[in-house]
A and B are shown apart, each in its own frame.
Chain A
Amino acid sequence: MIGLCVTALVNNVPTVLRFLPALTLFAMLGPVLAGLWGTVLPAFGHIPAAGLTGPSFDPFHALFSWGGLGKAVRLSITTGVVATALSLMIVALITAGWSGTRPFRFMERALSPLLSVPHAAAAFGLAFLIAPSGWIARALSPAITGWDRPPDLLIVQDPLGLAMIAGLVLKEVPFLLLMTIAAMGQAQPRRSLLVAQALGYGRITGWLKTVFPRVYRQIRLPVYVVIAYSMSVVDVAVILGPSTPPTLSVQIVKWMGDPDLSMRSTGAAAALLQLGLVVLVLVFWWFGERLVAALGNRWIQSGHRGSHDRISRGIALGLGALAAVPVLFGLASLAVWSVAGFWSFPDVLPDSFSMRTWTRHGPDAFATMGETFLVAGIAVVFALGLVLGCLEAEYRSGRQMGRFGVWLLYLPLLVPQTAFLPGLQSLLLNVGADVGLVPVVFAHLVFVLPYVFLSLGDPWRSWDVRNATVAQALGASPVRVFWTIRLPMLLRPVLTAMAVGVAVSVGQYLATLLIGGGRVSTLTTEAVALASGGDRRAIGVYGLLQTLAALLPFTFALVLPTIIWRNRRGLHE
């Protein structure tokens, strides 16, 4: 027996499990790569359906001769970069000033449900608040402003994109905050902060100097996702962004929807430009990180202990409230508009309430909600199957996912949607596979998969594997351990991951619009379609149901384990 090396895990990984990681990668990256290919071809003038064979630079000539290009490009960059930088600053300040305290836990609880509020609903809510005839103007009129009719101001859809930036910040602050909290689990911030405070550092300065560098390393990829998303978002830009010209991504969607095929090639060229812009900005951001790190190092070595800690903490708390309160009031204003009768300016509440809007739009809206859940449900079931398979394969083979794997997981979120979804659409059209529901589900899967994986990965991996050792020592096969021990014990994180998946799917605008080709409509596509019409009551109905569709699964994820395991105290903290 001497010299015989026994392989570590004698039970082999079943063949099915072996293929699941590859299949997952294919489901996630296949559509992205295919879509990019489908963008490159028409961008260089290759559209066989229109009798055009490339390569030619005509689409790019057409793009560069469009008068609005400079402004559209500038808007994409400024909104994306400013929204990301602002969100990151707010999150860093809040965490530096308050992590580990009671107000911080409260903020964490208040902001987590906001994470699932779809971007479009949050944007509508904000618009209803800040518009010239919105709640804020009504509350201040006529007593303070002196307005007895809505002023002629371009607050929403302002040319600088400020409203759009605000809308993005409202949604990205909860996202980055929760990512930061998750990252802090590994950084042991409390001890570092204690040491810094013992050395005489203020709380904020101490945290920024000792904890932030480690935390930022962990949240770097989520920050990149926020940049790519904010630069190329379409639904928020349609609702809150300027219109003449719009952001580059909105213009791309306009071109792609044009019946004139040559316009589509212009759109494809613009999509490639959008991709290039995102890559360029990410490169610049990367250099910016180096610069900030160098300056930060100098700041650390300067030994400044930090002053004005109290004021800074107050500001941080105020910023946190500023990120949470508008969304809540925005949702409330959606609700009020949906039941508003006649509502004259500057009254804060409508003259009368009625269910007329609900009786008129309700049946359609609830039918759309059914379709929304159908798409989301199928996508999430696929995603969960693949993710659980990958995690189980990882566990049984004993091989952890490396840094490269994490990058691959984030890749579909880093490629701007407007760069590959239009290409995917034209590819599907070419092969005649544009049959509605199925392609939409797979397009949603591209975005649902990474989020389900990211949500479930940590709790799944931090499960005490000695439970499995004991179960196997009791004679249970690996399959039995998976179904009867690990899955039931991890019911709560599994349901939460499913809720995350549903929320992601519900919020998808472009994937549904383009790949569905008008034959699949979800609450999000319907709500955004209402944006141009300006029927606030209808928008209220759809925005509210959209939010409900995203929040309901989270409620289930909270309530179900409590009911199922009501007599099992060991499963509740």
Chain B
Amino acid sequence: MNKGLTLQKVCIMRDGSPLIEVDHHIAPGDVLTIMGPSGVGKSTLLAYITGTLAPVFEATGGIALDGADISQLPPHKRQVGILFQDDLLFPHMSVGANLAFGMKAGGSRAERRAAIESALADVDLEGYADRDPETLSGGQKARVALVRMLLSKPRALLLDEAFSRLDAELRTQVRDVVFRNARERQLPVLMVTHDVDDAKAADGTVIELESLSKT
């Protein structure tokens, strides 16, 4: 059995012409960085992996998670976590409710609450459970988004320009927290970015994309 995230000859096409091609295996705890200018279909690749590819695209190739193909599963059964450049915390829920939303159902109220509190404490946000997400700073929101995703127990992690909205100092900080957590949990990580520093910090394989659609 092949642990990790495998992209097996994945090809995404638009109007019959290929947009992006990837054939790679990401081992647990490793980071694969995909770099390239905007518009080459980096986010499209992530949409294919999460199962939310728009119908204008056609995709071929397999996605395997720990050896099992997930490309036919509906998005909510894939157990693939994703972070975008915006935190996308649900604005109508408290911080704690955001975290609870992603947790598996079950357990008593007190147990769930305790899990949330300790997860928040892990990222220095102790006691923030009842806050309105909109009252948090950018760095705090990014950390809550990370914790929300980790609490849902994903088996792989996708980063879609996840740090590009943060300023330089915060960026390093948040990036370290994300990579450290991914390594601790032995998650395979696929990151798309246009920032060289992100790629260096990831300390893994880097694929540089050029636009396939232009000749």
- Contacts from A to B (Cβ < 8 Å): 1-6, 8-11, 397-399, 464-478, 484-485, 488-489, 491, 565, 567-571
Please indicate the chain A residues that have their CB under 8 angstroms from the CB of B133 in the complex: 570
CA distance A8 to B54 in the complex (A): 6
Stretch at the interface among B146-154, B164-172, B174-182, B187-195: B146-154
Q: A231: shortest Cβ distance to chain B, in Å?
A: 42
Please indicate the chain B residues that have their CB under 8 angstroms from the CB of A485 in the complex: 90
Q: Is B92 a contact partner of A466 (Cβ separation < 8 A)?
A: no
Q: A107: shortest Cβ distance to chain B, in Å?
A: 30
Best-buried of B60, B75, B86, B102 by chain A (most CB within 10 Å): B75
Q: Is A570 a contact partner of B149 (Cβ separation < 8 A)?
A: no
Identify which of residues 72-115 in chain B touch chain A, using a CB-to-CB cut-off of 8 Å: 72-82, 84, 86, 88-92, 101-102, 104
Please indicate the chain B residues that have their CB under 8 angstroms from the CB of A2 in the complex: 9, 60-61
Please indicate the chain A residues that have their CB under 8 angstroms from the CB of B119 in the complex: none
Stretch at the interface among B28-36, B45-53, B200-208: B45-53
Q: Is B53 a contact partner of A8 (Cβ separation < 8 A)?
A: yes
CA distance A436 to B44 in the complex (A): 54
Q: Is B90 a contact partner of A489 (Cβ separation < 8 A)?
A: yes
Q: Is B101 a contact partner of A476 (Cβ separation < 8 A)?
A: yes
CA distance A1 to B55 in the complex (A): 20
> With an 8 A cutoff between CB atoms, is B71 at the interface?
yes
Please indicate the chain A residues that have their CB under 8 angstroms from the CB of B81 in the complex: 473-474
Please indicate the chain B residues that have their CB under 8 angstroms from the CB of A477 in the complex: 74, 76
Please indicate the chain B residues that have their CB under 8 angstroms from the CB of A469 in the complex: 47, 50, 52, 75, 82
Which residue of the partner chain B has the closest CB to A489?
B92
Please indicate the chain A residues that have their CB under 8 angstroms from the CB of B82 in the complex: 469-470, 473
CA distance A509 to B178 in the complex (A): 62
Please indicate the chain A residues that have their CB under 8 angstroms from the CB of B128 in the complex: none
- Contacts from B to A (Cβ < 8 Å): 8-9, 47, 50-55, 57-62, 71-82, 84, 86, 88-92, 101-102, 104, 132-135, 148-149, 152, 154
Please indicate the chain A residues that have their CB under 8 angstroms from the CB of B91 in the complex: 489, 568-571
Please indicate the chain A residues that have their CB under 8 angstroms from the CB of B55 in the complex: 8-9, 397-399
Q: A320: shortest Cβ distance to chain B, in Å?
A: 35
Pick from A1, A5, A8, A568: contact of B8, CB below 8 A. Answer: A1
Please indicate the chain A residues that have their CB under 8 angstroms from the CB of B92 in the complex: 488-489, 491, 565, 568, 570-571
Q: Is A466 a contact partner of B84 (Cβ separation < 8 A)?
A: yes
Please indicate the chain B residues that have their CB under 8 angstroms from the CB of A6 in the complex: 59-60, 71-72
Contacts A4-B61, A466-B84, A570-B89 given; 17 further ones with Cβ under 8 A?
A6-B60, A6-B72, A8-B53, A10-B74, A11-B76, A464-B88, A467-B88, A470-B88, A472-B50, A472-B51, A473-B50, A474-B152, A475-B102, A475-B104, A568-B91, A568-B92, A570-B91
Pick from B8, B73, B135, B149: contact of A474, CB below 8 A. Answer: B149
Q: B2: shortest Cβ distance to chain A, in Å?
A: 14
Please indicate the chain A residues that have their CB under 8 angstroms from the CB of B148 in the complex: 474
17 contacts between A and B (CB under 8 A): A1-B9, A1-B60, A1-B62, A4-B61, A5-B60, A9-B53, A9-B55, A10-B73, A11-B76, A399-B55, A466-B84, A475-B102, A475-B152, A476-B76, A477-B74, A489-B92, A491-B92
Which residue of the partner chain B has the closest CB to A1?
B62
Please indicate the chain A residues that have their CB under 8 angstroms from the CB of B57 in the complex: 8
Q: A219: shortest Cβ distance to chain B, in Å?
A: 29
Q: Is A5 a contact partner of B59 (Cβ separation < 8 A)?
A: yes
**Known: A6-B72, A398-B55. Contact between A473 and B9, CB under 8 A?**
no
Q: Is A473 a contact partner of B60 (Cβ separation < 8 A)?
A: no
Which residue of the partner chain A has the closest CB to B69?
A1
Which residue of the partner chain A has the closest CB to B135?
A569
CA distance A6 to B148 in the complex (A): 30
Q: B7: shortest Cβ distance to chain A, in Å?
A: 11
Please indicate the chain A residues that have their CB under 8 angstroms from the CB of B79 in the complex: 475
Pick from B9, B47, B72, B154: contact of A10, CB below 8 A. Answer: B72
Please indicate the chain B residues that have their CB under 8 angstroms from the CB of A5 in the complex: 58-60
Which residue of the partner chain A has the closest CB to B152?
A474
Which residue of the partner chain B has the closest CB to A569?
B134
**Known: A467-B90, A469-B52. Contact between A474 and B71, CB under 8 A?**
no
Pick from B8, B73, B80, B134: contact of A473, CB below 8 A. Answer: B80
Q: Is B78 a contact partner of A3 (Cβ separation < 8 A)?
A: no
Best-buried of A6, A476, A485 by chain B (most CB within 10 Å): A6
CA distance A223 to B47 in the complex (A): 41
Best-buried of A10, A471, A474 by chain B (most CB within 10 Å): A474
**Known: A6-B60, A484-B101, A571-B91. Contact between A11 and B135, CB under 8 A?**
no
Q: Is B132 a contact partner of A570 (Cβ separation < 8 A)?
A: yes
Please indicate the chain B residues that have their CB under 8 angstroms from the CB of A1 in the complex: 8-9, 60-62
